[in-house]
A and B are shown apart, each in its own frame.
Chain A
Amino acid sequence: MGMDRDEIFQKIQGVLVDALGVDEDEVTAEATLMGDLGAESIDFLDIVFRLEKAFGIKVPREELFPAESLLNNPELVSNGKLTSKGLAELRERVPHTDLSEFEKNPDLSKLADLFTVNAIVTYIDGRLNA
């Protein structure tokens, strides 16, 4: 099933509009899921369920939204920042996301900024065209 990036983006846009109740024009490639689009825990599940239906694949939640389990682990997070163990864990979970900026100052509050619509597009692209 060859889908190009634009088609994937459009489908994901539709999923996010349905899951988050936002308008299509709010779902830009650079929009952050948590910051700009207001997504939280229950929304991540909603998004994963809809992505699975839309693209006919299984999406382990951890692969798309790893932040949740990282946040509660004291080995991975210390003083509001990811430890080197935490960073390694993150890198493993999200090979599709560019962490170079984040690694300079791995502040938890900035973790949310990483998860953009683009990151989802890249993930799905990777899964479909692997």
Chain B
Amino acid sequence: MRFVLIDKIVSLEKGKRLTAVKSVSLSEEYLADHFPTFPVLPGVLLLEGLVESASWLVRLTQDFACSMVLLEQARNVKYKSFMSPGSQIEYTVEAKTIDERVSSFFGHGVVDGQDIVEARIGLRHFNLADRDPAMAGVDGYVIEQMKSRYDLLSGQSLNSD
């Protein structure tokens, strides 16, 4: 599988809110195990969609200052309904705070007007060079890769004039 759990970023207000969508297809391999005869997107991948959405909001708000953006805590993540192949979920994350090293969000996902998932998310963000200056090159590489990924997800180019 490719570990990218959103397909498109559809709206962005830096520092505030981001919405993204993910379509689910039967061709996604893990569905064969989850579950046989009843394929549904695994709950942790719904959470990952929210985490990725929040991560993009951080990266864009901070102009890709940090290479590493990781989940530090998830609280009260509730699964209200199942999501089946052939449908599309819209994730919305709203920032409570975005500081230099940590940020917090409230996120939820909806399919055709039905609530599927909601969560309170805390992220932490940093560069590997913070601990080990020799890693600055790796930070640079990761950031470039994530910028390219953003181009794909937003349908535009960060490098365009």
Interface centre among A21, A22, A43 (most CB of B within 10 A): A21
Cα distance A43–B80 when bound, in Å? 12
CB distance from A20 to the nearest CB of B (A): 6
**Which residue on A lies nearest to B79, using beta carbons?**
A42
Residues A20 and B76 in contact, CB atoms below 8 Å apart: yes
- Chain B residues touching A, majority SS: strand
Residues A40 and B76 in contact, CB atoms below 8 Å apart: no
CB < 8 Å: which of B75, B78, B120 contacts A40?
A: B78
Which chain B residues numbered 50 to 92 have a C-beta less than 8 Å away from chain A?
Answer: 75-76, 78
Cα distance A22–B76 when bound, in Å? 9
Residues of A within 8 A of B78 (CB): 40, 42-43
**Which residue on B lies nearest to A46, using beta carbons?**
B76
Cα distance A116–B9 when bound, in Å? 39
Interface centre among B75, B76, B78, B120 (most CB of A within 10 A): B76
Residues of B within 8 A of A22 (CB): 76
Cα distance A43–B75 when bound, in Å? 12
Residues of A within 8 A of B120 (CB): 21
Residues of B within 8 A of A19 (CB): 76
Residues of B within 8 A of A38 (CB): 76
Write the B107-121 contact mask toward A (1 if CB under 8 angstroms, else 0).
Answer: 000000000000010
Which chain A residues numbered 7 to 58 have a C-beta less than 8 Å away from chain B?
Answer: 19-22, 38, 40, 42-43
CB distance from A31 to the nearest CB of B (A): 15
Cα distance A22–B106 when bound, in Å? 11
**Which residue on A lies nearest to B80, using beta carbons?**
A40
Residues of B within 8 A of A43 (CB): 76, 78
**Which residue on B lies nearest to A38, using beta carbons?**
B76
Residues of A within 8 A of B76 (CB): 19-22, 38, 43
Residues of A within 8 A of B75 (CB): 21
Which chain A residues numbered 41 to 99 have a C-beta less than 8 Å away from chain B?
Answer: 42-43
Residues of B within 8 A of A42 (CB): 78
CB distance from A130 to the nearest CB of B (A): 32
5 A-B pairs closest in CB distance: A21-B75, A21-B76, A21-B120, A20-B76, A42-B78
Beyond contacts A21-B75, A21-B76, A42-B78: 8 other A-B pairs, Cβ-Cβ < 8 A, are: A19-B76, A20-B76, A21-B120, A22-B76, A38-B76, A40-B78, A43-B76, A43-B78
Task: Mark B residues whose CB is within 8 Å of A.
Answer: 75-76, 78, 120
